[in-house]
A and B are shown apart, each in its own frame.
Chain A
Amino acid sequence: MTHETLLSVRELRTWYELRKWGFFRAGYVKALDGVTFDLKRGDAITIVGESGSGKTTLAKTVLGLVPPTQGEMILAGEHLDGQKRGKALAWLRGNVGFVQQDPYAALPPFMTVDRILREPLVINKVSKGDQDARIDAAMGEVRLTPQSDFLHKYPHMLSGGQQQRLVIARAIILQPQLVVADEPVSMLDASVRVEILQLLRRVQETHGLGVIYITHDLSTVRYFSEYVFVMYAGKIVEKAEVRELIHNPLHPYSQALLTAISDPDPDNADTVKEVPAGEPPSLAHPPSGCRFHPRCKHHMPGLCDREEPKSFEPTPGHFAECWLFRQGGTS
C-alpha cells in the first residue's frame, strides 16, 4: 500500500447564509470553520462529534455537494477550488463514493436494484458491456448474491442490512479513490452494524481506498480506522491514532466524549459519569476564543474566552487545539 497523500484539506470553511424575510442576508451559520487534515491513500479516518458539530457538512463539502466558502481541497493531486470548479467537480464525482446514514432513504424507492446500480455507470458513461460486469462484481463484493435474485427487487423488498450493502455497492461501483461514509450504521440494527463495518473495511483494504468514516459513536471506531479526528462546533479539536485517542484523550471535549461511551460493564451501573453541562454552541454566533470554553471545566479566563487555541502537538502524531498544551506544544 502506497502512503502518498490522497486528500489534503486546508483551512476549509463552509458557511450557510441565513436569510431574513427570504431576501435579506441575516448572517451565516459557520458549519465548517477552518478544518485542516490529510488523508493518505489506503487509510481510513474517523470523524467523531456530536450532532451539529459540522461532521455532515464536512462530508458534503468533500463530496462537492456543498460549495466551500473558503479553503483548499486537493484530491489525488487535483485542486478542487473555485475557478475550475465545474470541470473539477465532474472529475471529483467519478472518484468519490458516498455511503449515507439511512439506507432506505438513500435508495430511490421507485428503482430496481439493477437500475440503482446502473445509474452511476450510465451517468459517468461506462460502456454498456462494462456495466453488467461492474454491477455483477460490485454486488458480489458486498455479498448480494446470487445477483439474479436481487436485480429486479425494489429497495423496500430488502432488509436494512441488504439495503446498506446495496448503498455500499453503489458507492464503490465507479471504482472511486475515496469513500465518504456518513454514519453508515447508526440506523441499522446492532446485529448488522459490525458486519457492515467489517464489509466496509474489507472493501477498503481490497481496493486501497481512502475512507472518511463519520460517526457520533466512538464505540464503533475501534473496528475501523487508523486515525480519529474529533470535531466540535465546526472545528477539528483533536487528531490522533485510534489507540492513542482512546487511551489518552487530551482535549477536554474528547475526554467527555469517551466518558460517555457505554461499555457493557456491570460496574457502570454504579458510576455517575461526568458529562459537560450545556449544549453545543450556536454556529451562527459561536463563542469567542475556544468554542468549548463555556462548557470546559479547565476553562482559563482571559485566555480561553479571548483567543482561539492553535494546534499543539504534545506527543508526536497527536494534535489538540487546546490552550492546556501550549507549554509543550509547537504553535
Chain B
Amino acid sequence: MSSLLRALKELRRYPSAIAGLAIIGLLIIVSIYAMVTIPYSEAIRLWRGGPGVWDEYPRNAVPAWFDWFSGERLPKTITVDSRTAGTRTVEPLDGGLVRVRYTLPFEFPYAVFPSELSLFSAATYEGKRTRFTATWIQPDGHTIPLVSDRSMRDTDTYYISLDNNLRDRLPRAAAPEEGLFLAASDAAAAHPRAPASGTYELVVETEIPEGHSFETRLVVFGKAYGLAGTDNRRRDIMVALLWGAPLALAFGLFGALVSNIATFVLAGVGTWVGGHVDGLFQRLTQLTLLLPLLPIMVMVGQFYGRSLWLILGIVILLNIFSGAFLTYRSMFLQAKEAPYIEAAKAYGARNGRIIFRYLLPRIVPVLLPTFVLVIPQFVFLEASLAVLGLGDPILPTWGKLIYDARSADALYKGYYYWILEPATLLMITGFGFALVGFALDRIFNPRLRTM
C-alpha cells in the first residue's frame, strides 16, 4: 500500500498529470455545485419543461459572452412587471367594476432587435373574461395601438410577436418584435434597419371587478442568455451542462470501477481456481466479444426502458467478460507462475496470503492506469448512446444535449454553441482522465519512460 501512495505522490512530478487532476477536480466541484444548487428532482423537472417553467426565457439565445467576440451587444431579456415597475391609475366604474391603467416603461439600449415580445397577465378572480387594450409608445412619442378590447381569461398571455393583425398594420409588415422598435422616420428606409434606442412604454388598460387585482408583465426576449445560452424549447442549456457533469462522472466512474473490478476479480478467481471455472469464463468472454453492443442497446431501449441506470447495468454486464478479461487473465497467469509465489507456497503461505500479499501488489499497480483510462470510455459510451437516441429520456446529460441539438438541426441553423458546449465538456473530461492515466502508466510501468 505504501508503494501505491509513493507512486501517487510521484504524480506531482508530471505537469500533465497535475493538469489532468485539476480538470477532474474541477469536474467534481461542478458536480457538487450542480447537485447542491439544483436538486435531482428539480433538475428533471426543469429539463422536462412544460408550461410555466421556461416561458420567460428567450428561445435559441446564444451565450451572453458571445458579445466579447462579436463586438455586437445582443439584447438581454427585459421584463417589466406591473407589480414592481411603472405606474397605475385606478378609476371606479358602474356595476362594481374598476378601470385599471398601467404604464410599463423600459429602457431599450441595444442596436439589435429583440427576439420576441409577450405580455403575461394574471388576475385574482376566476372564470370571468375581461377586455383589455394595449398601446405601444416609442421613444419619440409615436404611438402604435396593439390591441383594443381584446378578450382575455384570468390568466392569459398575449403573444405580441405572433399577432398577424398587428404585423399587417406595421410599416413594411415587419415582424412585431422588429416593427415596434423601428423609428417612424426610419421605417421607410430599407436598409439598414436597426431599432431605435431609448425609453419605450406599454400602456395596458382593462376593466376588472372591484376588490380584485390584475397584474401584467411585458417580456422583451433577448438574443443572448447566461453562460450557456438556451435551446429551442427556451431551456437554459446551463442546467444540462451542470447536471451533465455528475451524471457523466457517475456513469464513467461507476461503470469503469464496477465492470473493471468484477472483471479483475473473476479473472483472478478463474486463473487461481483454474480448470473448468477458467474454461467457462473464457468461453463466456469469447461469447460476449461476439455480442454486438449497439443492437442490444437498441432492443433494450425499445422493449425495456432507457433509464440511465438500466443502461449502465447492461453496459457493465456486457463489459465484465470483455477484452479486458483476457488481458487481466494473462497478467494473473503470468503473476501466478512467478517463482516467488512458488517459493511462498513452498514455505507454507496460504491462498489468501498469496493473493493479497504476493499477487495483488504486483498486479494492481499495473492495472491502475487502465482503471483511470477506462473511465472516459464509459463517459463517451453514454454520450454515444444518447446521441443515437438511446439515452435516458428525462435526465439532462451532455449526450442528450447533443442529441437534442442534432434533432433541432442546430448546426444547420447556426446554433453552434448548442453542440459545441457539451462536446467540449466531453472532450475535456476525456482529456483530464487521459492525462492522469498516461502519467500513472509512466509511473507504474517505468519501461514506457524510454519509449
The reply to whether A98 and B3 contact each other, CB–CB distance below 8 Å, is no
- Which of A105-162 touch B at CB < 8 Å? 105-110, 119-120, 123-124
The reply to whether A93 and B346 contact each other, CB–CB distance below 8 Å, is yes
**Contacting residues, chain A, for B279 (C-beta < 8 A):** 19, 21-23
**Contacting residues, chain A, for B3 (C-beta < 8 A):** 110
Using A22-B278, A22-B279, A23-B276 as known contacts, say yes or no to A102 and B348 having CB atoms under 8 A apart.
no
A170 within 8 A of B: yes
**CA A63 to CA B340, docked complex, whole Å:** 14
- Which of A57-106 touch B at CB < 8 Å? 60, 63-65, 90, 93-94, 96-98, 100-102, 105-106
B339 within 8 A of A: yes
Q: Mark B334-348, 1 if CB is under 8 A from A, else 0.
A: 000011101111111
Nearest CB of chain A from residue B434's CB, rounded to whole Å: 27
Q: Mark B280-292, 1 if CB is under 8 A from A, else 0.
A: 0011000000000
The reply to whether B347 and A124 contact each other, CB–CB distance below 8 Å, is yes
The reply to whether A123 and B342 contact each other, CB–CB distance below 8 Å, is no
**CA A97 to CA B347, docked complex, whole Å:** 7
Closest to B365 in A: A110
With beta carbons under 8 angstroms apart, the residue of A64, A98, A105, A119 that contacts B338 is A105
The reply to whether B347 and A123 contact each other, CB–CB distance below 8 Å, is yes
B169 within 8 A of A: no
**Contacting residues, chain B, for A98 (C-beta < 8 A):** 342-343, 346-347
Closest to A124 in B: B348
**CA A124 to CA B348, docked complex, whole Å:** 7
- Which of B415-434 touch A at CB < 8 Å? none
**CA A106 to CA B345, docked complex, whole Å:** 12
A188 within 8 A of B: no
**CA A101 to CA B342, docked complex, whole Å:** 12
* Centre residue among B276, B339, B357 by max chain A CB count within 10 A: B339
Nearest CB of chain A from residue B72's CB, rounded to whole Å: 63
The reply to whether B340 and A105 contact each other, CB–CB distance below 8 Å, is yes
**Contacting residues, chain A, for B345 (C-beta < 8 A):** 65
With beta carbons under 8 angstroms apart, the residue of B338, B349, B361 that contacts A123 is B349
**Contacting residues, chain B, for A108 (C-beta < 8 A):** 340, 344, 358, 361-362
**Contacting residues, chain A, for B88 (C-beta < 8 A):** none
**Contacting residues, chain A, for B276 (C-beta < 8 A):** 22-23
**Contacting residues, chain B, for A119 (C-beta < 8 A):** 344, 347, 349, 357
**CA A100 to CA B358, docked complex, whole Å:** 17
B172 within 8 A of A: no
The reply to whether A90 and B348 contact each other, CB–CB distance below 8 Å, is yes
**Contacting residues, chain A, for B129 (C-beta < 8 A):** none
A245 within 8 A of B: no
Nearest CB of chain B from residue A17's CB, rounded to whole Å: 9
Closest to A94 in B: B348
B353 within 8 A of A: yes
- Which of B325-370 touch A at CB < 8 Å? 338-340, 342-350, 353, 357-358, 361-362
Nearest CB of chain A from residue B400's CB, rounded to whole Å: 44
With beta carbons under 8 angstroms apart, the residue of A22, A23, A106, A174 that contacts B343 is A106
The reply to whether B340 and A120 contact each other, CB–CB distance below 8 Å, is no
**CA A144 to CA B338, docked complex, whole Å:** 24
**CA A65 to CA B353, docked complex, whole Å:** 16
**Contacting residues, chain A, for B344 (C-beta < 8 A):** 108, 119
The reply to whether B347 and A93 contact each other, CB–CB distance below 8 Å, is yes
The reply to whether B339 and A105 contact each other, CB–CB distance below 8 Å, is yes
Nearest CB of chain A from residue B42's CB, rounded to whole Å: 49
**CA A101 to CA B358, docked complex, whole Å:** 19
The reply to whether A107 and B347 contact each other, CB–CB distance below 8 Å, is no
**CA A21 to CA B278, docked complex, whole Å:** 12
Closest to A102 in B: B339
The reply to whether B348 and A106 contact each other, CB–CB distance below 8 Å, is no
**CA A100 to CA B340, docked complex, whole Å:** 9
The reply to whether B339 and A100 contact each other, CB–CB distance below 8 Å, is yes
**Contacting residues, chain B, for A102 (C-beta < 8 A):** 339
The reply to whether A65 and B346 contact each other, CB–CB distance below 8 Å, is yes
Nearest CB of chain B from residue A68's CB, rounded to whole Å: 16
Closest to A116 in B: B340
Nearest CB of chain B from residue A214's CB, rounded to whole Å: 14
**Contacting residues, chain B, for A167 (C-beta < 8 A):** 343
**Contacting residues, chain A, for B361 (C-beta < 8 A):** 108, 110
**Contacting residues, chain B, for A123 (C-beta < 8 A):** 347-350, 353
* Centre residue among B345, B348, B353, B361 by max chain A CB count within 10 A: B348
Closest to A174 in B: B347
Using A23-B276, A110-B361 as known contacts, say yes or no to A120 and B342 having CB atoms under 8 A apart.
no
**Contacting residues, chain B, for A63 (C-beta < 8 A):** 346
The reply to whether A100 and B343 contact each other, CB–CB distance below 8 Å, is yes
**CA A112 to CA B357, docked complex, whole Å:** 13
Using A98-B347, A120-B348, A123-B349 as known contacts, say yes or no to A22 and B282 having CB atoms under 8 A apart.
yes
**CA A110 to CA B357, docked complex, whole Å:** 10
Nearest CB of chain B from residue A83's CB, rounded to whole Å: 20
The reply to whether B349 and A170 contact each other, CB–CB distance below 8 Å, is no
Closest to B279 in A: A22
Nearest CB of chain A from residue B284's CB, rounded to whole Å: 12
**CA A167 to CA B361, docked complex, whole Å:** 20
**Contacting residues, chain B, for A94 (C-beta < 8 A):** 348
Q: Chain B: residues with CB nearer than 8 A to chain A?
A: 3, 276, 278-279, 282-283, 338-340, 342-350, 353, 357-358, 361-362
Given contacts A19-B279, A119-B344, 7 further A-B contacts (CB under 8 A): A21-B279, A22-B282, A64-B346, A94-B348, A96-B346, A100-B342, A110-B3
Query: Could you show 8 A-B contacts with beta carbons less than 8 Å apart?
Result: A19-B279, A22-B279, A65-B345, A93-B347, A96-B346, A100-B342, A102-B339, A109-B362
Q: Chain A: residues with CB nearer than 8 A to chain B?
A: 19, 21-23, 60, 63-65, 90, 93-94, 96-98, 100-102, 105-110, 119-120, 123-124, 167, 170, 174
Ranked 4 nearest A-B pairs via Cβ: A22-B279, A93-B348, A120-B347, A98-B346
